[in-house]
Amino acid sequence: MIMEKVLEEAQPYLAGKYLSELVVGLSMIGCRLSDGTVGVAYLLRDALPNGCSAFPYALSAEGKPAAEIAAWVLTGEDDAQRGIGAAVLNAASQGLSVPDDDSPLPFGLEIRASDMVGMVGYIRPVAQRLKESSSEVIVFDRGVELAGGDEMIQPCALQEQLLPECDIVILSGTTTINGTIDSLLELCRNAREVALVGTSTPMFAGGFAGTNVTHLAGAWWDNDSWEKIKKVISLAGGVRALSAYSIMKNQPVFLDCPGS
């Protein structure tokens, strides 16, 4: 599994650190490690269990080794626990050398007018921009589909049919949380480029070496703004409300890409 490789690559950047603070909001998860680095990940709500006592692990997470909590991205019982693991990985990735995303192209991808572009995870502004520069954009988003859909959304049941036809595919980093990343990459086997995007994207490029992922387009966070980030998340704020504290990153992935 890809996330096993990612966790292996992340170990040197988790070693000796512990989870200092954690906040789990309605939209996002935030954490601060003992070295002061801040991480954020998306909270996938659609499949969470019911009940007010469904998430006891969060109460005991603070103070535990960062490597132990990061492993939840793979071993977690639900999307919230796996999301906490993803946030810790996001914080630890600040130990890497990753360039800022200053490309005028979306996620650094060169989109051709003849391209069919697939998206898993609906980012409306990006989808609209891609629509203007490609022949067709197809979008899958289970949460939006369950909520009633959108004019750009295709039923997720059509992924197996349509993703293999795409020239470019943009996958949400949350696919590493809900366990769909491996199967989706198999469906994207014909794509010229595949980008994993969003703050939940683990920026450990070595974990994706040898796969068909070509770009990791994620975000780091202003460590000095932790109190503000924590406040926004605790009040159910999402990515847009946190954008002032984000630092967009873009790491190309090569077949023999090292971990740093």
Question: Which residues, 6 or more positions from 197, have their beta carbon under 8 angstroms from its beta carbon?
Answer: 107, 121, 123, 170, 171, 172, 173, 215, 217, 218
Give the tens place of pLDDT for each residue, 128-162. Answer: 889 989 999 999 998 888 888 778 899 999 999 99
Q: What angle do CA 244, 24, 92 make, to 5 degrees?
A: 65
Compute the distance between CA of residue 79 and CA of residue 133 in angstroms, rounded to an integer: 34
CB neighbours (10 Å) of residue 51? 7
User: What DSSP line would sit under 97-164, residue for residue?
Assistant: ---B---SSGGG----TT-EEEEES--HHHHHHHHHHSSEEEEE-HHHHHTT--TTBPPGGGHHHHGG
Does the pTM of the predicted model rise above 0.85?
Answer: yes
Among 132, 201, 118, 203, which Cα is nearest to 162's? 118
Helices (H), ranges, 15-78: 66-70, 72-75
Per-residue pLDDT of the chain (260 residues; tens, 9 = 90+): 999 999 999 999 999 999 999 999 999 999 999 999 999 999 999 889 999 889 999 999 999 999 999 999 999 999 999 999 999 999 999 999 999 998 877 898 999 999 999 999 998 888 988 998 999 999 999 888 888 877 889 999 999 999 999 999 999 999 999 999 999 999 999 999 999 999 999 999 999 999 999 999 999 999 999 999 999 999 999 999 999 999 999 999 975 554 44
Q: All domains of the chain, ordered by start, with CATH?
A: 2-97+224-238 (3.30.390.100), 106-215 (3.40.50.11590)
- Give residue 30's pLDDT: 98
* End-to-end Cα spacing for the chain: 20
Give the tens place of pLDDT for each residue, 176-212. Answer: 999 999 999 999 999 999 999 999 999 999 999 999 9
Let me know: does 120 contact 171? Beta carbons within 8 Å.
yes
